[in-house]
Chain A
Amino acid sequence: MSSSNASYTLRYFDAIGLAESSRILLTAAGVEWTEEHPEWPQEKPNQPHGRLPVLVEKSTDGSPDFVICESSNVERYIARTYGFLPADLKQAALQEQLRDLISDVISLFFTQIQCKGEEDKAEFQTKFDGLLETLINVQTKLLKDNGNTGRLFGDKLSYADIITYGLYINLLIGFVKFNADIADSVKSKLTPEIVKLISAVETDPLVEKHKSRGGSLVAAISA
């Protein structure tokens, strides 16, 4: 399934953010890839949707490179190509729905920090807390039903495991620069099952080579 001569460039900011899951997926896929940090906002018009991340799959036959964008789309493409999302449509969809829920959690986080009035801030904090609680409950139930092995589905590292890790490394490390209180608040809500998933992803042999600019999430949780 892996194409041995494929190579990729991932364009993003020099930050954890919405590229981390793609970084982990590319590393886990064992493919050749590099990262570019485009001058910003100068390079905005040169991206398909004027935003980052962007994934470039380098052409090997002289045809134009294949370029896609939108963080969750990039993740799904890598995951499908390299087998981290199952070929079975139902099994894949059950994983994808988790990422859509995560997108909404992240969206609420950024809406909340942009609120100016205390009332608005409180309203969106409540919405964020509520949706995060729903997500944690869903993730924990899946982990328990799957034997509390640190895997959301099956017995191998999956797309769902990686994008879950990608959320928590932001909530606990990456987003702290936007909201200093978020790390402690989220840490206190993590269930043992989720902590086990985080450790399982970080220590997976396929992920070992990935060195997050945020450091170890496992260490951040036990600190």
Chain B
Amino acid sequence: MLSGSDTVYVLRYFDVIGRAEGCRLLLTAANASWTEEHPEWPAEKANQPFERLPVLVERSNGNEWILCESLTIERYLARVFGFMPTDLKQAALQEQMADQQADLLSAFFAQLTATGDMKSKQIDEFNTLFDRMVKEHGRILSRSSSKQHLFGDQLSYADISLYAFYKLFIVYLKCYQSDIAEIVKSKLTPEIINLILSIEKEPQLAPHFSKCDTMAAIFTAKDF
């Protein structure tokens, strides 16, 4: 671990799953000292470096250091706490999964807000991208010796990022589109569902589920 034992973190975000779940899971899995702040919004907008959330505040030895942008925060925490491989090639293979997932989130909002003849085009694009991504997840999983992790035999950044992504689509985004959870669930293979549920059972993540539900109940026996 590269952070001192007296380092504390504050994650500033809205009180929703949104784009911060990966950060929350990483801080939890790392057993870091951390708290969450929900700034008054938009009152606190001008006080954030990029006028956006999430923001990570790291306090250590009386110093304060601030980082923005959800994916950069995730990659930073993953590296500090040893969830990202130090080998650059192995790291890039994990990072590209997170980038692909970010594209999917953009495609979701694009099809949500599209109108007219763009709507069906954007829906097709979203479905194509999602199906391709699920296939890629399956391909990586098939090459992993442990079907409970994407790479190697320990919880990695890729596992945490994948879990946060599926949680976003299955638990959160229904507030924007009521049928998205069912649409996404229907695309998942038993292997991917097994991976999601295995990640959830990681002891390092246990404290996370004292604050929210697991997805186990969502995937009923008939999904397998």
Contact = CB atoms under 8 A, between A and B. Distances in A.
B216 interface: no
A114 B69 contact: no
A50 interface: yes
A49 B103 CA distance: 11
A177 B163 CA distance: 39
B10 interface: no
B113 to A, nearest CB: 8
A66 B71 CA distance: 23
Contacts of B100: 49, 70
A80 interface: yes
Given A77-B88, A114-B118, A138-B50, A97 B93 contact: no
Interface string A96-129: 1100110100010001001011001000000000
Contacts of B70: 100
B102 to A, nearest CB: 8
A214 interface: no
A72 B68 contact: no
Given A49-B132, A89-B80, A73 B95 contact: yes
Contacts, number: 83
A97 B53 CA distance: 12
B24 interface: no
Size category of the B interface is 35 or more
B37 interface: no
Nearest to B93: A68
A96 B78 CA distance: 14
B33 interface: no
Contact of B88 (A80, A96, A101, A114): A80
Majority secondary structure of chain B interface residues (helix, strand, loop or mixed): helix
B49 A90 contact: no
Of residues A81, A97, A114, which shows the largest number of chain B Cβ atoms within 10 Å of its Cβ?
Answer: A97
A89 B69 contact: no
B2 A89 contact: yes
B12 interface: no
Interface string B84-105: 0000110011011001101100
10 nearest A-B pairs in the assembled complex, by CB-CB distance: A100-B69, A70-B99, A93-B76, A97-B69, A97-B72, A77-B92, A73-B96, A70-B96, A96-B72, A68-B92
Interface of A: 48-50, 57, 66, 68-70, 72-73, 76-77, 80-81, 89-90, 93-94, 96-97, 100-101, 103, 107, 111, 114, 116-117, 120, 134, 138
21 contacts: A48-B136, A49-B133, A50-B129, A68-B89, A69-B96, A70-B99, A73-B96, A81-B88, A89-B2, A90-B76, A93-B67, A93-B76, A96-B76, A97-B72, A100-B69, A101-B68, A103-B102, A111-B110, A116-B118, A117-B115, A138-B49
